[in-house]
């Protein structure tokens, strides 16, 4: 019995088993009668038809009872309808006990194998559930670690700059005041971006990473993401290339917008290059890939294996320490995983690129 049937209430399982058993026995009898009418001189194959029906009953019905009852019914049908003298029961025929024992053995063997397979399937499902829960716990821990770094640092910078401004306002030049206020403004924007990322995660419900998706036009989703990014980085140069064909994908548009914004912003901030960033969309038979490619310094090789685990990667002594990639990339990975897609990063000859794929069907 398959997993869906085993989830039904017990009375529904038995109701299905009764109906399915009657259907299989009726179908076997009908097929056997037709075969016997067409090939009356070779009735031995009729036994095979009933054995197939018994295997189906044993495979899809609850327990052993239905298979055993159907074995008895099958032997009686063969004896009564397809064995001379026809339409009379004759239990003294040579080989009759062997036929009954053989059918009963097939039924018990099939039922036993089915029960074992069902038990193994439950064990595997439970193990997969435990692994998924362990992965979620690891993801939570990584996110919390990233949050503690990526949120604390801009707050510390804002408090420090505010304190300097308040305590030394009279002695500061206009240029120094402007620099302090600019730093506070930049830290505030970065903090706002982090909060938006955290709010994005709340759209993903529960431990199973479930989301609500609908068919969305890829070009419109990317356009919306680029408009939002342009408000933050008006001077950023981004070259977009999408297929001419109209592409609809099942997705949560807001989440995919956030992924696109995060990856593009990551390229703008960390590439250390003024060269235009490329956003390439390619359609494949079963998925669509999105490539964000920069022409900058690339990603250190020792970071490639840990980019998406939520670990802050930017050294704390650098001037943009608060702009670590940890939380943003970790959230991107979570979102793409919830869409049953993939997210990878790699270096190319003149920089780095991030590629995420979304399936055309879940």
Last residue of a domain, one of 128, 146, 163: 128
Asked if 211 and 76 sit in the same domain, the reply is no
Residue 67 lies in domain: 3-128
- Whether 221 is in a domain gets the answer yes
Q: What is the pLDDT of residue 288?
A: 95
Query: Confidence band (pLDDT; 50, 70, 90) for 251?
Result: very high
Let me know if residue 140 belongs to a domain: no
Mean of the per-residue pLDDT values for the chain? 80
Sheet with 277-283, edge to edge strand ranges? 238-241, 277-283, 287-293, 351-359, 342-348
Which tokens hold the place of 183? Answer: 């730093």
Segment 55-88, tens digit of pLDDT: 888 778 877 778 788 888 888 888 788 777 778 7
pLDDT-derived band of residue 282, with 50, 70 and 90 as boundaries? very high
Q: Is the pLDDT of residue 321 over 50?
A: no
315/332 Cα distance (integer angstroms): 21
For the chain, helix, strand, coil in percent to 5 are 60, 10, 25
The strand pair at 238-241 and 342-348 is best described as unpaired
Q: Are 342 and 286 in contact (CB under 8 A)?
A: no
Query: How many separate domains does the chain show?
Result: 2
Q: Do 124 and 208 fall within a single domain?
A: no
Distance of CA 277 to the CA centre of its chain: 29
Q: Does position 153 have pLDDT exceeding 50, yes or no? A: yes
Distance CA 231, CA 218 (A): 21
Give the whole-angstrom CA distance, residue 229 versus residue 259: 12
C-alpha 50/C-alpha 36 separation (Å) is 13
Which position has the token pair 């049908």? 77
Query: Is the pLDDT at 322 greater than 60, yes or no?
Result: no
User: Does residue 69 lie in a domain region?
Assistant: yes
Instruction: Pick the last residue of a domain from 93, 128, 163.
Output: 128
- Report the CATH number that the domain containing residue 244 is assigned in CATH: 3.30.565.10
Instruction: Give yes or no: residues 295 and 208 share one domain.
Output: yes
Last-in-domain residue among 65, 95, 128 = 128
User: Is residue 217 located within the same domain as residue 350?
Assistant: yes
Q: Read off the pTM.
A: 0.55
Q: How confident is the model at residue 145 (pLDDT cuts 50, 70, 90)?
A: low
What would the pLDDT profile of 82-110 be if each residue is shown by its tens digit?
A: 777 778 777 666 666 676 677 667 767 77
Give the pLDDT mean for 150-161.
81
Answer yes or no: is pLDDT of 222 > 80.
yes
Compute the average pLDDT of residues 255-279. Answer: 90
Read off the pLDDT of residues 163-213 as tens digits, 9 standing for 90 and up: 988 988 888 888 888 999 988 988 887 787 777 767 766 666 555 556 788
Q: What confidence tier does 319 reach under pLDDT thresholds 50, 70, 90?
A: very low
| Strands, E assignment, 184-285 | 214-217, 238-241, 248-251, 277-283
């Amino acid at each position: 019995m398959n997993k869906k049937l085993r989830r039904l209430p017990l009375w529904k399982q038995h109701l299905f088993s009764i109906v399915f058993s009657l259907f299989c026995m009726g179908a076997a009898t009908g097929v056997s009668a037709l075969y016997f009418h067409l090939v009356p001189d070779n009735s031995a194959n009729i036994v095979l038809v009933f054995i197939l029906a018994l295997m189906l009953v044993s495979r899809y019905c609850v327990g052993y009872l239905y298979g055993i009852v159907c074995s008895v019914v099958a032997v009686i049908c063969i004896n009564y309808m397809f064995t001379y003298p026809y339409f009379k029961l004759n239990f003294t025929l040579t080989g009759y006990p062997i036929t009954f024992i053989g059918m009963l053995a097939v039924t018990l063997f099939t039922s036993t194998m089915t029960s074992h397979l069902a038990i193994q399937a439950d064990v595997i499902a439970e193990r997969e559930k435990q692994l998924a829960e362990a992965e979620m716990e690891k993801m939570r821990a990584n996110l919390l670690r990233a949050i503690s770094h990526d949120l604390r640092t801009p707050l510390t910078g804002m408090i420090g700059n505010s304190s300097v401004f308040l305590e030394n306002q009279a002695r500061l030049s206009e240029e120094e005041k402007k620099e302090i206020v600019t730093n506070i403004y930049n830290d505030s924007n970065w903090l706002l971006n982090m909060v938006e990322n955290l709010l994005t995660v709340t759209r993903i419900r529960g431990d199973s990473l479930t989301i609500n998706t609908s068919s969305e036009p890829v070009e419109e989703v990317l356009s919306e993401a680029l408009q939002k990014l342009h408000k933050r980085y008006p001077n950023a140069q981004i070259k977009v290339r999408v297929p001419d064909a109209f592409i609809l994908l099942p997705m949560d548009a807001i989440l995919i917008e956030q992924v696109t914004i995060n990856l593009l912003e990551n390229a703008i901030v960390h590439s250390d290059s003024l060269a235009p960033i490329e956003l390439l969309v390619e359609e494949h038979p079963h998925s669509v890939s999105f490539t964000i490619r920069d022409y900058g310094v690339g990603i250190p090789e020792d970071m490639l294996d840990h980019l998406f685990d939520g670990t802050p990667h930017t050294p704390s002594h650098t001037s943009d320490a608060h702009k670590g990639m940890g939380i943003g990339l970790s959230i991107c990975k979570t979102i793409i995983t919830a869409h049953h897609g993939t997210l990878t990063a790699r270096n190319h000859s003149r920089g780095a690129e991030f590629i995420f794929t979304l399936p055309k069907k879940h």
